[in-house]
Chains A and B, each alone.
Chain A
Amino acid sequence: MRLLCAVLLLATPLAAQDGGTRSAGAGGRSRERLEGRVPAAALPAIDSIIATAVAESLPTEPLIQKALEGSAKGIPADRLVGGVRRGLLQLRDARIIVARAVPTQPPPEGHVAAVAGALARGLSPSIVERLLTVAPTESPGPALHAAADMVAHHFDPDSAAELLVEAHNKGVHGVRLFDVALAADHELQRRGGRTHADALARVRAMLPNVPPPAPTQPVTRHGTKGS
C-alpha cells in the first residue's frame, strides 16, 4: 500500500509536467544535433526559432534540417538564420491550409511538413487545399508532389489538380498518383505535337489504368532514379 502511494505521489507531478518535458525534450534533442555543426553566432537565434515552433506545435524537423543544410554549405550566420526563419513562416502558412482542409485537430505534423514542401515547390495554396480536401486522412505528399511535378512541366495547375482528383476518385491512390503525372508527361512527349490539354485528356481517358512504373533497373548512366 505504501508502495502504491509512493508511486502515485511520484506519477502525479510527472504526468502534469509531461507537456513541458516533451517541449523541453524536443528542444534539447534539436540542440544536441545542432551544436558543433551550426555556427555559434547563429545558434541562439535558431534555438529560439525552434522553441517557437515547439510552442506552436509545428514540426521542428524541417527547421533542424534547414539549419544543418545552411551550416554544411557554409552560409553566413545572418542568412542561415533568415533561411530557418523563412521555414518557420512556411510551416505556419502550411498549418493554416491544413487546418482548413483536414478536420483532425491538431493538424497532423506530417501534413503540415508536406504542405510546406509543396508551397516551397511553388504550388498555390488553393491547389494545395483542393488536393488535401479530396483525401484528408491520407498522406498528402504523393498528390502534392505529383501536382508540383506536372506544374513544373508547364501543365495548367488547375487542370493538373483536376486530373489528380479524378484519378483519386477512380481508385488511384498514394504513390500511384506519381504514375498519373508521369503518364501525362509521357503523353506530352509523344510524337505528333500534342498540347498539354491533349496529353491530360488522353491520361484522363485511360484512368484508372495508368501504366505502372518501370521495374527498377540497374544503375544507368542516363539519369537519377528515385521515383
Chain B
Amino acid sequence: MIADDRGGAMNPIDSRLQDALDGERDPAELPADLRDAYVRLITAARLLEVVPPTTVADRVMAEIRRSPAPTLSPARRAARWLSRPRAITFRLRPAWTLALAAGLAAILLIPSEPGTLNPGEAQGVARFVGHFPGARSVEVVGSFNDWSRGKLHLQDDDHDGVWDGAAVLPAGQHEYMFVVDGERWVADPLAGRYVDDGFGAGQQNSLLVVRPASGTP
C-alpha cells in the first residue's frame, strides 16, 4: 500500500506496469497512460542512480578549507586548547584497577597510628585515655577546640571499655573534659592536673600542658 500526500491510500501499482518495470514485458505493449507512467518512473530511477560528484560533507569541508583561518595569538590558542572539552579514554587492566582501589581503601580506612602525628614547631601531641565501660561514645571537648562537640572522638575498637585517641595541639595549657554518650561531662581521672571551672558548682576541668615537640619553650 502506498500513502498519498493527503494521508490516504493509493491503489497498488498496475501489474502490467510492474512487469514492464521488471523487464518482463515490452513497454511498447502498454496502454498510453501506463506507458507515460513507465517513462516517468524510469527517468526518476536513472536520476537516482547518478552519484553526485561530491557528497555534502565533502562540499562543506572544501568550503571550510577555502575560507581563511583566523589568526589567534598563542595565549588565545592556549586558552582555547585548555577550555575545549576533550574525551579522555582510560584503558585499565582489571588487576591493576583492583590493586589501585585496595590501596586507596587502605589509605582512607585504616586509622593512622598515633606515632604518625606530625606536630609543628610550636605544637605537641596530646594523648587521651579514659575507662568508660558500656559507653557508646566518648569525645574530648576543651579550650583547644573552642569547647565544640564532634571534633575529637576517642575510639574503643576492641570494645573493652578503654577509649583512647591522640591529637596535635598547640603547645601550652589547655582545659578539657570528656563528654560521654553526648551528655555526661566527666573530668579526665588520669589528667593529674585540675582547675575549678569557675561556674560556682565546684566542677573541675582537667588541665593539659602540651610540651612543644621541638623541645623549646
Residues of chain A at the chain B interface (Cβ within 8 Å): 33, 65-66, 68-73, 75, 79-80, 82-83, 86-87, 114, 117, 120-121, 138-139, 141-142, 145, 148-149, 152, 173-175, 178, 213, 216, 218-227
Contact = CB atoms under 8 A, between A and B. Distances in A.
B207 interface: yes
Nearest to B210: A226
Given A82-B200, A83-B198, A221-B129, A227 B146 contact: no
6 contacts: A87-B198, A114-B173, A117-B173, A120-B198, A145-B173, A224-B208
Nearest to A142: B217
A176 B191 CA distance: 20
A198 to B, nearest CB: 22
Task: Please indicate which of the listed interface residues B124, B129, B174, B199 has the most CB atoms of chain A within 10 Å of its own CB.
Answer: B199
B191 A224 contact: yes
B124 A79 contact: no
Contacts of B120: none
Residue picked from A72, A82, A87, A120, most chain B C-beta under 10 Å = A72
Given A72-B141, A227-B208, A220 B129 contact: yes
Nearest to B200: A79
Interface of B: 113-115, 124-130, 141, 143, 146-149, 162, 164-166, 169, 172-175, 185, 188, 190-193, 195-201, 205-212, 215-217
5 closest cross-chain pairs (CB), A and B: A174-B217, A72-B147, A226-B208, A227-B209, A83-B199
Nearest to A143: B217
A218 B114 contact: yes
A211 B147 CA distance: 35
B208 A141 contact: no
Nearest to A174: B217
A94 to B, nearest CB: 14
User: Which interface residue of B166, B185, B193, B215 has the most chain A CB atoms within 10 A?
Assistant: B193
A152 B162 CA distance: 27
Given A139-B217, A227-B210, A73 B199 contact: yes
Q: Is the interface of A mostly helix, strand, loop or mixed?
A: helix
A184 to B, nearest CB: 14
Contact of B164 (A138, A139, A219): A219
Nearest to B191: A224
A142 B146 CA distance: 22
B49 to A, nearest CB: 81
- Identify which of A33, A141, A225 gathers the most chain B CB atoms within 10 Å of its CB: A225
A73 B174 CA distance: 16
Given A83-B199, A138-B217, A141-B172, A219 B166 contact: yes
Which has the most chain B C-beta neighbours within 10 Å: A66, A72, A226?
Answer: A226
Contact of A70 (B115, B199, B207, B208): B199
Nearest to B148: A72
Given A218-B113, A226-B211, 6 more contacts: A65-B146, A86-B198, A117-B173, A224-B206, A226-B209, A226-B210
Given A73-B199, A219-B166, A224 B217 contact: no
Given A68-B147, A72-B141, A223 B197 contact: no
A77 to B, nearest CB: 11
Contacts of A226: 124, 126-127, 169, 174, 208-211
A216 B198 CA distance: 33
Contact of A83 (B114, B146, B197, B217): B197
Contact of A173 (B124, B164, B201, B217): B217
Given A72-B149, A152-B193, A221 B162 contact: yes
Contacts of A117: 173, 195
Nearest to B155: A219
Contact of B129 (A82, A142, A219): A219
Contacts of B208: 224, 226-227
Given A33-B146, A65-B147, A175 B215 contact: yes
B127 to A, nearest CB: 5
B195 A79 contact: no
A143 to B, nearest CB: 10
